[in-house]
Structure 1
Amino acid sequence: MGRCAEAQRGFEVDERAGRTATEEAMMDVSLRRSFARARIGIVPLPLYLALVAALAVAVALPAGGDMACGLLLPVVGGFALAELGSRIPLLRSAGLDTVLVLLVPSWLASTSALPEDGTVALRRLLDATDAVGFFVTVLIAGSVMSIDRASLPAEMARLMALAAFATAAALICGMAAALFLGRPTVETLALTLAPMMAGGLSAGAIPLSVAYAQALGAPQSELLARILPALIAANLLALVLAGGIAFLERRGDRRAGNPPQPPPPQAPAYACGPGRLAAAFAGLIMLHVVASHISRVSGWPGPLIALLLVALLRLGDPAIGRPRQDVIALYRHCLRGLIYPVLFIAGMLFTPWDRLIEGFSSAGLLPVAAAVGGMALAGAAIARPLGLTAADGVVLALTRAAMGGTGTVAILNASHRLRLMPQAQIVTRLGGAITLAVAMAGAGALMR
C-alpha cells in the first residue's frame, strides 16, 4: 500500500509539472504572438523597433547618416505621437491627437532637441523633390476622382456657396473684433484675415507676402513674419474646434444611449497590384510636373492648377475607368500610411514654435478667433439648405482656415471626417485661390 501511495503521489507530481510546463509553453507562444501582432499606428511593433534602432544608428554615425536620420525621424516620431495621442483619453475623446503630432515636433525643433543635420537634410530633400507638394497632389487627385462624376458640377457649386458664406462671416466677425480692439481695419484685413484664408503657406501666404512687398516696398521676409502667426493660429483654432465637434458628438450619443454606429458597409476592395499602383504613381508625377510648370508660367498656385486639371479629367472621363480606380487605391494607401509622418514634417519644418506662441499671445488673436468662430457658425447655418448635416457644414467651413493640404488633413482627422476629403480639398483650394486673387489684386491697386 505504501508503495502504491508513493507511486500515485509521484504520478500526480509529474502530471502537475507537465501541466505547468505546457501552460508556460503556451503562455510563451501567446506572448510571442501578441508581440508580433502589436502595432504602433499601422506599423507592426517588431518593424517599428527595427526602425527605432536604425534611427539610433543614423544619429550616432559621425557622418553619412543625415539623410537616413531625416527620413526615419518623421516615421518613428509621427506614428509614436499618434499612438500616444490615441492612448490619452482626454486628447482622444476631443479629437486632438492630431494636435500632438503637429505641436510636439514644432516645440522639439525650437529647443534643438531634434538632430539638426537630419532635419537640414530632410528640408533639402523636400525642397529638391517637392515631396510635400506631390503628396498634396495625390490627395487632390484621389479625392476628386472619388467624387461621382455626374454630381461633380453641382457639388462644386454647393461647396463654393458654403465657402463664400463662411468667408463673408469670417470677414464680418474678424473686422468687428478689430474695431473693438481699435486696430486699423486695412491692416487687419490684409495681414490677418486674407492670409489665414489664402489656402496655406506655399500656395497663399508666400505669394501674398511677395505681392505686399512689391506694393509697399517692404522686405518680403518681414511681411511674411507678420503674416505667419495669424495663419498658424487660425489653423490650430480650426483644428481644436473640429476636435470639439467629434467630442460633442460622442458625448451626445452616450447621453442618448445610442450605441456606437457601425462603420458603413465597404464596397468590395478593388484589386490593384503593384504594377498598377506604380503606373498610377507615374501618372500622378506627370500631373504634378505639368501643374508645377503651368504654375510657374501663370503665377497661379500649383495645387489649384492640379485641382482644375483633375476636375477636367473627371468631368471628361476619357476612358479612365481603371486608371481612376488605381489613383483612388494609391490615394487611400498614402492617406493611411503617410498622414502622420507628413503631419510630423509639417510641425517640424513648417510650423515655427516662436511664431505660434506669438500668434497666441498677441492682441491679434482676437480677430483670428472671431473669424474662425464666424466660419463655424456660418457652416452650421447654411448646412441644411445645402443638404449637409450641421457638423459636416461646420467642419467644411473650418477648412477655409486650413494651412493647405496638410492643414485640411489635420482638421478632418481631428473631427474623424476623412470621408469629407474630396469636398474639403475643393473648399480649401478654390476658396484660397479666390482669396489670394482678390488680395493680390488689392495689392496691385496700391502699386498703381
Structure 2
Amino acid sequence: MKQANFLYFYIACLVCGSILGMNRKILIQGLFRMIIPMLLGMVCAMGVGTLVGVILGSDWQHTLFYVVTPVLAGGIGEGILPLSLGYSAITGVGSEQLVAQLIPATIIGNFFAILCTALLNRFGEKHPSYSGQGQLVKIGHSEDMSDALKNNSGALDVKLMGAGVLTACSLFIAGGLLQHLTGFPGPVLMIILAAFLKYLNVIPQETQNGAKQLYKFISSNFTFPLMAGLGLLYIPLKEVVATLSWQYFIVVISVVLTDVSVGFFVSRFLNMNPVEAAIISACQSGMGGTGDVAILSTADRMNLMPFAQVATRLGGAITVITMTAILRIIFS
C-alpha cells in the first residue's frame, strides 16, 4: 500500500469528485471562509496547549515544539517528516530520533479528533439547527445542499468513471508538477486547480458526472479496507506506548479541544454551519490524509474532503514552516 501510494489515489478521487460535484458558490465560499477559523484555531490551540503543559510542570519549549506542534503538523508524511528534518538541522539531533518523539502526539491527537467528531455528529443529530447535514456554508434554501450530495449523476457508468479516473489522476499529477515549481504542497495545489476549473466550468458535464460517480464508488467500497490497512502500516504502537503519561494526554486533548471549539464558535460569525466547521477543524488535528478519511467517515461527511485536505495540508504546511522558523530564532 505504501509503495503503490493508494492513499493518494483515494484522496485524489474523493477530492476531485467532491469538488466537481459541488455547487460552485458553496465551494468557493467554503474554501475562503475556512482560512480564518483554521489560522485562529491553530494559534489558540498552540497557546492553550503550551499553557496546559507549563501548568502540569513541563518545559514550555518541549511542550510547544514536541507535543503541541506535531498534533497540528498535518500528519506523518507531510508534517512529522519535514518537521523532524527542520528540527534536526537546527538542533543537531538525528531526524530518526526526533521522529520517534514527534509521532506519538500526532497519533494520540488523531484518536481524540475522531472521538470529538463522533460527539459532534451526535450533537448535530440532536440539535439540527447547528448542523448543515454535510454542507459547510449556509446559503439560501434553493441552494441548500451541494450537488455532491444529490443522486443526480445517474446509474454507475464504467466509461464515465474512467473519465473520472483520468481527471483525478491528471489533477494529481498537475499538483505534483506545480509543487516542484512553487514549493507549495502538491495536494493543496491540486485542490486549488480543481476548484478553479470548477469555478470556470470548463470541464464537460459528463466528465464531472464521471468524477462524482467515481467519488461515490471509491468512498462506498474502499474506505473501511483502507482504514484497516493504514492502521496497520502507519501506527507505531511501540513508540506510542513508550510516551504514555496522563500529562501528555491532557496536553494533546487540550490542543484538539481548543482547535475544534474555535472552529465551532467562530463559524457562527462567518455564516458557516458550526458542526461541519468544527469537523474540518478536527481534521487539522488529524493524521494527514489518513486522519481525514477516518474523521470524515466517522461523521458520514466524506463530501467535505476538499475542505479537510485544505485544513490538513495548508494548515500543516503553515505549522511546519512557522514552528521551524521560531525554533531557528530561539537557537540562533
Same fold, judged at TM 0.5 (above): yes
Alpha-carbon contact 1:163-1:397 (below 8 Å) kept: yes
Structure 1 residues 360, 304: CA separation in 2 closer, same or farther (over 3 Å shift)? farther
Alpha-carbon contact 2:72-2:319 (below 8 Å) kept: yes
The structural deviation recorded for 1:158 is 0.9
Alpha-carbon contact 1:203-1:303 (below 8 Å) kept: no
Alpha-carbon contact 2:175-2:190 (below 8 Å) kept: yes
1:383 corresponds in structure 2 to 267
The structural deviation recorded for 1:336 is 0.8
Match of 1:367 among 251, 267, 278: 251
Alpha-carbon contact 1:136-1:406 (below 8 Å) kept: no
Check if 1:432 corresponds to 2:316.
Answer: yes
> Take 1:298 and 1:362, find their aligned partners in 2: how far apart are those partners?
42
Alpha-carbon contact 2:263-2:277 (below 8 Å) kept: yes
Check if 1:326 corresponds to 2:223.
Answer: no
TM-score norm. by structure 2 comes to: 0.84
The structural deviation recorded for 1:408 is 1.3
1:177 corresponds in structure 2 to 52
Alpha-carbon contact 2:162-2:210 (below 8 Å) kept: no
2:28 corresponds in structure 1 to 153
Check if 1:138 corresponds to 2:22.
Answer: no
> Take 2:247 and 2:75, find their aligned partners in 1: how far apart are those partners?
22
1:241 corresponds in structure 2 to 116
Alpha-carbon contact 1:143-1:425 (below 8 Å) kept: no
Structure 1 residues 217, 320: CA separation in 2 closer, same or farther (over 3 Å shift)? farther
The structural deviation recorded for 1:393 is 3.0
Alpha-carbon contact 1:141-1:310 (below 8 Å) kept: yes
> Take 2:124 and 2:243, find their aligned partners in 1: how far apart are those partners?
29
> Take 1:186 and 1:236, find their aligned partners in 2: how far apart are those partners?
24
Query: Which amino acid in 2 is paired with 1:337?
Result: N
Query: Which amino acid in 2 is paired with 1:343?
Result: M
Q: How does 1:237-316 map to 2 (within 5 A)?
A: 237-250=112-125, 266-271=150-155, 273-296=157-180, 298-316=182-200
> Take 2:297 and 2:243, find their aligned partners in 1: how far apart are those partners?
23
Q: Deviations over 1:87-139 (max 9, x none)?
A: xxxxxxxxxxxxxxxxxxxxxxxxxxxxxxxxxxx5xxx32x22222222222
Q: Per chain length, whose mean CA-contact separation is higher, i.e. which structure has more relative contact order (CA < 8 Å, sep 6+)? A: 2
TM-score norm. by structure 1 comes to: 0.64
Query: Which amino acid in 1 is paired with 2:260?
Result: A
> Take 1:313 and 1:252, find their aligned partners in 2: how far apart are those partners?
36
Match of 1:227 among 102, 107, 110: 102
1:168 corresponds in structure 2 to 43
Alpha-carbon contact 1:304-1:433 (below 8 Å) kept: no
> Take 1:407 and 1:135, find their aligned partners in 2: how far apart are those partners?
13
> Take 2:93 and 2:256, find their aligned partners in 1: how far apart are those partners?
28
> Take 1:360 and 1:296, find their aligned partners in 2: how far apart are those partners?
39
The structural deviation recorded for 1:248 is 4.3
Q: Deviations over 1:358-382 (max 9, x none)?
A: 4543632222111111112212221
The structural deviation recorded for 1:430 is 2.2
Structure 1 residues 329, 444: CA separation in 2 closer, same or farther (over 3 Å shift)? farther
Structure 1 residues 395, 358: CA separation in 2 closer, same or farther (over 3 Å shift)? farther
Structure 1 residues 275, 190: CA separation in 2 closer, same or farther (over 3 Å shift)? same
Check if 1:393 corresponds to 2:277.
Answer: yes
Q: Deviations over 1:129-154 (max 9, x none)?
A: 22222222222222222332234332
1:188 corresponds in structure 2 to 63
Q: Which structure 1 residue ranges, 4+ long, deviate > 4 Å from structure 2?
A: 248-253, 296-299, 443-448
The structural deviation recorded for 1:228 is 0.3
Alpha-carbon contact 1:203-1:302 (below 8 Å) kept: no
The structural deviation recorded for 1:348 is 0.4
Query: Which amino acid in 1 is paired with 2:77?
Result: S
The structural deviation recorded for 1:294 is 3.8
The structural deviation recorded for 1:341 is 1.0
Query: Which amino acid in 2 is paired with 1:196?
Result: V
2:300 corresponds in structure 1 to 416
Q: Secondary structure at the match of 1:161?
A: helix
Q: Secondary structure at the match of 1:177?
A: helix
Is the radius of gyration larger for structure 1 or structure 2? 1
Stretches of structure 2 lacking an aligned partner (at least 5 in a row): 129-144
Q: Deviations over 1:198-256 (max 9, x none)?
A: 21111111111111111222111111111101000111001111112334455679xxx
The structural deviation recorded for 1:351 is 1.1
The structural deviation recorded for 1:269 is 3.4
Alpha-carbon contact 2:74-2:286 (below 8 Å) kept: yes
Q: Deviations over 1:21-74 (max 9, x none)?
A: xxxxxxxxxxxxxxxxxxxxxxxxxxxxxxxxxxxxxxxxxxxxxxxxxxxxxx
Q: Secondary structure at the match of 2:17?
A: helix
Q: Secondary structure at the match of 1:402?
A: coil
Structure 1 residues 395, 214: CA separation in 2 closer, same or farther (over 3 Å shift)? same
Task: State the Cα RMSD in Å.
Answer: 2.6
Query: Which amino acid in 1 is paired with 2:315?
Result: G
Query: Which amino acid in 1 is paired with 2:111?
Result: L
The structural deviation recorded for 1:187 is 2.4
Deviating more after overlay: 325-334 vs 420-429: 420-429
Check if 1:213 corresponds to 2:88.
Answer: yes
> Take 2:191 and 2:127, find their aligned partners in 1: how far apart are those partners?
37
Query: Which amino acid in 2 is paired with 1:377?
Result: S
2:138 corresponds in structure 1 to none
